[in-house]
Amino acid sequence: MNGIPERLWKLFWDVDPEKIDLQTNRFYVLQRILECGDLDAVQWMWSRFKKSEIGEALCRFRGYSRKSANFWATVLEVPKEKVLCLRKSSLAKPKNIWPY
């Protein structure tokens, strides 16, 4: 089986899971599992992808929750400095948008 198992389709509510190519869209698939996956999804992920691929997916995406990012960085032994969503924003925050 080359696609996503039917039992994991619930994670891909916004696309047609049958059309997802695991080679081309592997980071998308990994991102969904890392952020929203249950135990079954995580077990499938470990059987299908290398630890290095999973770690790279963790480092590429800025949209993880801090809790998920910290958990997976620890599990995957990825330095937290490499995880984009754990970095401090480089954008300066405006002092006052409306000073009155």
Considering the entire predicted model, what is its pTM?
Answer: 0.82
Residue 1 forms part of a structural domain: no
More confident residue, 99 or 17: 17
Residues 54-82, mean pLDDT to the nearest whole number: 94
Structure tokens at 100: 């009155």
Contact 18, 3 (CB under 8 A): yes
Into how many domains does the chain fold? Answer: 1
pLDDT score recorded for residue 74 = 96
Contact 5, 18 (CB under 8 A): no
Residue 79 sits in which domain range? 6-86
Residue 98 forms part of a structural domain: no
